[in-house]
Amino acid sequence: MANIDKIGLAFDDVLIVPGKSSVLPKDVDVKTKFSRHIPLNIPILSAAMDTVTESDMAIAMAREGGIGVIHKNMSIERQAEEVERVKRYESGIVQNPITLSLHSTIGEAKKYMEKYNISGLPVVKNKKIVGILTKRDILFEENDNKKVEKVMTKKVITAPERTDIDEALEILKKHRIEKLPIVDDKGHLKGLITIKDITKRKLYPNSIKDELGRLRVSGAIGVSGDAMDRAKALVSVGVDCLVIDTAHAHTKKVMDFLKKARDKFNTVDIIVGNIVTKDAVKDLVDLGVDGVKVGIGPGSICTTRVISGAGVPQLTAIMDCAEIARKSGIPLIADGGIKYSGDITKALAGGADAVMLGALLAGTEETPGETQFLEGRRFKVYRGMGSIDAMEAGSKDRYFQEDKLVPEGVVSRVPFRGPVSEVIYQLVGGVRSGMGYAGTPNISALRNAKFIRITRQGLRESHPHDITIIKEPPNYDITR
Ligand code: XMP
């Protein structure tokens, strides 16, 4: 007979007890970790879901100081391209700039410019730079078959290796140019510095970047079929972290795959999820994971718990797993079930290092999918990766399913929310406020805060009550 040994708590079952405080919300430190080797400036990640994270979202998240996990409901080639788009988007020095040859056509150049959102391409012959082609050069060119050689700028201003960003800026200013190819003493192209990247650096000082100055990005992989090829392809384009994304990671199949992946890829971090028990953390730590992801069934679009009868309320799952994760020195991501910013503060106080968000980021400009109109309001689709629609598009292996599908998620509609940066601002603002109430200057101190269990009446009292809201604030959704 199954036995019961404890009560599981959800975020709504508790509040953080305000403590004596000498910290102001604006001064608290919300820096944290995503995985063993990847620090974050805010404790927020975007979910590996096909209505949440592709390259646009991942770029926006990394600029805000968090990170995006690009979903895998697409071909290996396309997912690698999405990762590459992020890695090329903003960098101090582009290490492997996309180049043209003298025989390339204007049509090819236009294709690259559009695909990678870039405005200029160096032209090389035998690795040596012989010209540069910018959007300006082809502005009035209508013949796509014309050779690049005919229209490129031949006199190229270059700089030697080890030119730093400030020196580069001076050269760009002096010559009134936008791109500065970096060359070695043989004239071989070694990199490219652009004014666009320098400007973006200033606009997003909180960005999360790798050692080459490129935005960081993570990619989801599964454990079946061609999962290892997918991992290899993502690693080859510079993904910072692989997230083995399954509905139940404390399984032989996932752990066997992890063992193999760990042996193969020692230059990237590997996070594994999802799990909800201490034993699961122990087993994954023994296999060398760089982070764990916690949550079975708390997600807004999940039906796992009601369909299968299995799961653990999210706050208890976080607190249990955190005990072992902390001792093992690996970060813990709380995945799913975050309804308001206050839940993020509770997840962090309960031991999470960061939270993964689906619903709260769904509907923003940067999510994949079109906006729809209904009764004059804009909406976007947000669907569970265990919904029939998403599983048919590729995610059935997340739920270890093959033929006739038993869904564990639903398809929903969420209001259009504008740019994700606005949403993140409100969410981080809420966390800062919570840390101010708790009197804790940083996330590690927040873990010493006290929870109080509350009743249904306490929860009712916590929300606006006995009034009619006539103006919707930006951080409280009255439809939720
Ligand atoms: P939120 O609450 O932020 O949750 O919308 C997002 C997380 O939910 C998980 N997920 C699912 N879980 N069925 C499930 O049981 C599903 O169809 C499903 N789709 C996503 C996932 O961990 C995600 O990050």
For residue 300, the CA-to-ligand 1 centroid distance in Å is: 7
- Rounded Cα gap, residues 191 and 96, in angstroms: 6
- The CATH superfamily holding the domain 11-90+207-452 is Aldolase class I (3.20.20.70)
Q: Let me know if 432 is a catalytic residue.
A: no
Q: Which residue puts its alpha carbon closest to atom 19 of ligand 1? A: 384
pLDDT of residue 69: 98
pLDDT surpassing 90 at residue 137? no
pLDDT surpassing 80 at residue 111? yes
Most ligand 1 atoms within 8 A of CB, residue of 46, 301, 405, 417 to mutate: 301
pLDDT of residue 160: 92
pLDDT of residue 323: 97
pLDDT surpassing 90 at residue 471? no
pLDDT of residue 94: 80
Q: Let me know if 398 is a catalytic residue.
A: yes
From its phi and psi, is residue 350 left (phi > 0), alpha (psi between -120 and 50) or beta? alpha
Token reading at 68: 């995006």
Domains 11-90+207-452 and 94-199 share a fold: no
For residue 296, the CA-to-ligand 1 centroid distance in Å is: 8
Residue, of 31 and 400, whose pLDDT is higher: 31
Do 273 and 243 touch, CB atoms closer than 8 A? yes
Range name among 259-268, 400-409, 450-459 with the lowest pLDDT average: 400-409
Go through 283-311 and write b for each residue having 16 or more CB atoms within 10 A of its CB, e for each that does not: bbbeeebbbbbbbbbbbbbbbbbeeeeeb
For residue 303, the CA-to-ligand 1 centroid distance in Å is: 9
Residue whose structure tokens are 């999510």: 367
pLDDT of residue 242: 98
Q: In 3D, which of 321, 82, 414, 358 has the Cα closest to residue 245?
A: 358
Q: In 3D, which of 450, 170, 408 has the Cα closest to residue 297?
A: 408
pLDDT of residue 138: 87
pLDDT of residue 53: 98
pLDDT of residue 400: 83
Domain ranges of the chain: 11-90+207-452, 94-199
Q: Model pTM? A: 0.87
CATH tag, 94-199: 3.10.580.10
Could you tell me the sign of the dihedral formed by the alpha carbons of 454, 456, 458, 463, in that order? positive
For residue 410, the CA-to-ligand 1 centroid distance in Å is: 10
Could you tell me the sign of the dihedral formed by the alpha carbons of 358, 362, 367, 371, in that order? positive
Phi and psi at 136, nearest 5°, equal -60, -40
Pocket, ligand 1, Cβ cutoff 6 A: 47, 49, 274, 295, 297, 299-302, 304, 335-338, 356-359, 384-387, 408-409
